[in-house]
Structure 1
Amino acid sequence: MCSVGRLVQLTLVKRVYEWSKSTSGLQFIPKKWNWFCVIAMGNSSGHNNTMTIPPGKGPHQVGCTDLMVGHTVQGTFMRIYYPCQATEHPHLPDWVPCREYFNGLADFMKINRALSERIFNYLFGSCKIPAAWNASFKPDGKYPVIIFSHGLGAFRTLYSAICVELASQGFIVAAVEHRDESSSATFYFKENAEPGTKRHMSSDISKPVSDNLEEVWMYYRPLKTGENEFPLRNKQVKQRADECIRALDILFDIHSGKSVENVLQSNFDLSTMENSMDLCRIAVMGHSFGGATVIECLCKEVRFKCGVALDTWMFPLDEEIFPGVKQPIFFINSEKFQWIGNIIRMKKLDSAIFPRKMITIKGTVHQSFPDFTFLTGNWIGRLMKLKGEIDPHIALDLCNKATLAFLQRHLSLNRDFNQWDPLIEGKDDNLIPGTNITIPHSSI
């Protein structure tokens, strides 16, 4: 009965999905099916009917690998994107690494796991990241480094469009997967007394090197009834910053030629990255909760020379740390997410000494930065606020170019990214200098 029920569910999802491609039925969706149909129709009416994560536009082909250092929850987990050697038929990794992440997304969205897993897998299970899995590293001088922090309910792979583009332009990008219970899902390992008896996750790319390690999954922790949110989020943002700094420490070890043990089985040779990083040119970048993590990192770690904060959620931060942030910050905001109180807190970081820049991309929403914006159809994407009114390719292109110009300016890079300097000032038809939010003068 269970398997029959699952087959019926999947068949129904497929039928609703195929039916949704026709606009004839859109006015007649029964109310109780609205949410189900919204998810099931997520991949209809796409951008030229090809809903894929865009490849990098820079001169380098991009590879990626996963690195877990320390198997316990106190260890560090990240996906590294890097310039790689050219290969004709690269193996592209799945965008969502395994089914447990679908379960985490379901929990975060407060929908049924069993049904949502089939829907998500049907809609997104074949999506690939445009980066060659475990491809050979490309030595080419020393690459500047970016540590990337994801948003609330996300995980390490959901911002691959941004990370791939930056790597294609000659950066090593480490996307941290946070273990502060703000990810929709993540995992670590515990030692098992009976080696070889435990089944590991459904993905082959994240198997442990030791048979006596058993994966433990950590899912998003929602607020408890009556719980004050600030203490939780403030504790999490501090842990997130510590995780980013540990990731940076590991990259320093790899650069210096120290032996770094990957808990995960991997064909990627970390020793090929020895002496490959420009450790005087390091930036931190993040979206939403990750934007708050950027500011916390800048306060805690002077090795970060500047920060790029995408649609930052300022709530988790202690304002007492603001005077301690001495590095340049670039706020890139969406048009629809921000509000007066949040912008006022950003403005409290303004300085006559340390550069602070802010732009807003017209027609964007909060989810215009993660990859979902490329993988959902136009009208459904807008209904679910995964897409704004602007073409997501145009929006992310502006974000990436402005970021690269800012990084060249404040990391003193010898590149041609300064051709996009006007974007830092919001000089483009699709940009607003500063913010679209009107702030009362008394608040300033």
Structure 2
Amino acid sequence: MLFAQRLRYIVKRNMGNSGSHCPGIPSGKGPNLVGCVDLMDDLTIQGSFLRLYYPCEQGGKQRQPLWIPRHEYYYGLADFLKYNRKFVEYTLNYLYGSYRVPVEWDAPFKSDGKYPLVVFSHGLGAFRTLYSAICIEVASRGFVVAAVEHRDGSASATYYFEEKTKTVNDVGEAASSTISTLPLDQLQMKWLYYKPLKGREQEFLLRNVQVHQRAEECIRTLNLLTDINMGKPVHNIFPLKFDFTKMKDSLDLQKVTIMGHSFGAATVIDSLSKDHRFRGTVHQSFPDFTFLTGTFFGRIFQLKGTIDPHIAIDISNKASLAFMQRHLGLEKDFDQWDPLIDGKGEHIIPGTNIDLPLTNSEPKQ
């Protein structure tokens, strides 16, 4: 009880000192209202799992989804941060458990021409909801955004399904075709938490395997959205009303890009090398935590940078939109932010602020 009272005091004190912005994930600044659904096309770990952000229809009383959808994600964040699970669950649930994403959950898709498609890859220790601010802003500008939840052990947590009494075939593997046809009440969630390095395990060996799996998951996501665009039926595990048939012929698959943050950026590079359909790409100031965390807890959990998060994300979003217009040939007004691509603008550091070793072609001082 004493800890809870102290926590409440610290939270209130820090929120009062967190600047002029009230804590919360920012809404999109573009002309489109943004809708959101989760899509899992297969119960097994081989399937795709993503959150879809899209321009949606006005009207109705759609609810806003919770930012952290299940408490198991707190456990995963604890494992990634190397803190006690119960402590992190209590603390983060108290701080963030009531926050909701400013989108229209399960809202009807707005059929209005063809939208460019963006596949988004999260960083280490994240999951599909932690970059909502970026995905919402891009969707509000007239894109469909598919935020992948990776199942390679780099997400803090994710899940798939197994049969309660597992069916095993003659090679000792779960019969995935059988599992995929079972009702949810005959299945159980199988949680996959962040995979840390073990002992003297070399990080490159682990990350190399993971990044290749992540790239394949991004490609599967693109294939899934391609099927949806062709009007092929899609089976969503989640019991939502969203009508995927309205997305037929609504994606401009000649204008597909992939974005990522941190380890997601490495995923972008690998995806670009594997699939020619992807044409472009975009640290702590990027995940949603930076908008919801006061200075005190931001420093403890290393969730917050020194720059105002609203300034940082605005620069990033504008630069990303300008980049996509330049390389996808979009007929928008995003070129007004072209100077950001060239490293020009307030708060922009030209080149890099990291000391890089000299190459053989560079003169020594």
TM-score greater than 0.5 by the shorter chain: yes
- 134 and 169 in structure 1: CA distance in 2 versus 1, 3 angstrom threshold: same
Whichever residue aligns with residue 259 of structure 1, its letter is P
Whether the aligned pair in 1 keeps the contact of 2:37 and 2:51 (CA below 8 Å) is yes
Offset from partner CA, 1:98-117 (integer Å, 9 cap, x none):
11111111111122222321
1:433 offset after TM fit, Å? 2.4
**2: CA distance, partners of 1:262 / 1:179:** 18
Between 1:240-249 and 1:259-268, the stretch displaced more is 259-268
Correspondent of 1:72 among 36, 44, 47: 44
Whether the aligned pair in 2 keeps the contact of 1:45 and 1:379 (CA below 8 Å) is no
Match of 2:284, SS? helix
Whether the aligned pair in 2 keeps the contact of 1:21 and 1:45 (CA below 8 Å) is no
The corresponding residue for 1:421 is: 338
Q: TM-score, normalised by structure 1?
A: 0.75
Correspondent of 1:295 among 263, 269, 277: 269
The corresponding residue for 1:210 is: 184
Match status 1:244 vs 2:244: no
The corresponding residue for 1:369 is: 286
Between 1:416-425 and 1:210-219, the stretch displaced more is 210-219
Match status 1:107 vs 2:79: yes
Match of 1:128, SS? coil
Match of 1:211, SS? helix
Whether the aligned pair in 2 keeps the contact of 1:282 and 1:304 (CA below 8 Å) is yes
Whichever residue aligns with residue 286 of structure 1, its letter is G
Match status 1:277 vs 2:251: yes
1:13 offset after TM fit, Å? 3.9
**2: CA distance, partners of 1:442 / 1:270:** 52
Offset from partner CA, 1:131-162 (integer Å, 9 cap, x none):
11101110110000000000001000000000
Match of 1:368, SS? coil
The corresponding residue for 1:14 is: 4
**2: CA distance, partners of 1:83 / 1:178:** 24
Match of 1:367, SS? coil
Whether the aligned pair in 1 keeps the contact of 2:121 and 2:147 (CA below 8 Å) is yes
Whether the aligned pair in 1 keeps the contact of 2:257 and 2:281 (CA below 8 Å) is yes
- 134 and 230 in structure 1: CA distance in 2 versus 1, 3 angstrom threshold: same
**2: CA distance, partners of 1:113 / 1:170:** 39
Whichever residue aligns with residue 84 of structure 1, its letter is C
Q: Which runs of 5+ in 1 are unaligned?
A: 1-10, 24-40, 195-207, 309-365
Offset from partner CA, 1:154-202 (integer Å, 9 cap, x none):
00000000000000000000000000011110000112349xxxxxxxx
Whether the aligned pair in 1 keeps the contact of 2:117 and 2:256 (CA below 8 Å) is yes
Between 1:150-159 and 1:11-20, the stretch displaced more is 11-20
1:19 offset after TM fit, Å? 2.9
- Give the fraction of aligned pairs with identical amino acids, expressed as a percent: 55
Match status 1:126 vs 2:43: no
Whether the aligned pair in 1 keeps the contact of 2:81 and 2:301 (CA below 8 Å) is no
Whether the aligned pair in 2 keeps the contact of 1:93 and 1:133 (CA below 8 Å) is yes
Q: Which has the higher contact order (CA 8 A, sep 6+)?
A: 2
Between 1:75-84 and 1:211-220, the stretch displaced more is 211-220
Q: CA RMSD in A?
A: 1.8
Whichever residue aligns with residue 240 of structure 2, its letter is S
**1: CA distance, partners of 2:216 / 2:343:** 32
1:210 offset after TM fit, Å? 3.1
Whether the aligned pair in 1 keeps the contact of 2:11 and 2:294 (CA below 8 Å) is no
**1: CA distance, partners of 2:21 / 2:223:** 43
Whether the aligned pair in 2 keeps the contact of 1:187 and 1:215 (CA below 8 Å) is yes
The corresponding residue for 1:48 is: 20
**1: CA distance, partners of 2:92 / 2:306:** 24
**1: CA distance, partners of 2:75 / 2:3:** 17
**1: CA distance, partners of 2:51 / 2:187:** 20
Whichever residue aligns with residue 137 of structure 1, its letter is F
**2: CA distance, partners of 1:14 / 1:133:** 32
Whether the aligned pair in 2 keeps the contact of 1:70 and 1:263 (CA below 8 Å) is yes
The corresponding residue for 1:173 is: 145
Where does structure 1 differ by over 6 angstroms across 4 or more consecutive aligned residues?
none
Whichever residue aligns with residue 395 of structure 1, its letter is A
Match status 1:401 vs 2:318: yes
**2: CA distance, partners of 1:254 / 1:56:** 25
Whether the aligned pair in 2 keeps the contact of 1:85 and 1:137 (CA below 8 Å) is yes
Whether the aligned pair in 1 keeps the contact of 2:155 and 2:194 (CA below 8 Å) is yes
Whether the aligned pair in 2 keeps the contact of 1:209 and 1:263 (CA below 8 Å) is no
Match of 1:432, SS? coil
Paired residues, number: 346
1:416 offset after TM fit, Å? 0.4
Q: Which runs of 5+ in 2 are unaligned?
A: 167-181
Offset from partner CA, 1:47-84 (integer Å, 9 cap, x none):
43621000000000000000001111111100000000
1:435 offset after TM fit, Å? 1.1
Whether the aligned pair in 1 keeps the contact of 2:77 and 2:125 (CA below 8 Å) is yes
Whether the aligned pair in 1 keeps the contact of 2:80 and 2:194 (CA below 8 Å) is yes
**1: CA distance, partners of 2:75 / 2:328:** 40
Whether the aligned pair in 2 keeps the contact of 1:96 and 1:157 (CA below 8 Å) is yes
Whether the aligned pair in 1 keeps the contact of 2:76 and 2:156 (CA below 8 Å) is yes
1:402 offset after TM fit, Å? 0.5
The corresponding residue for 1:286 is: 260
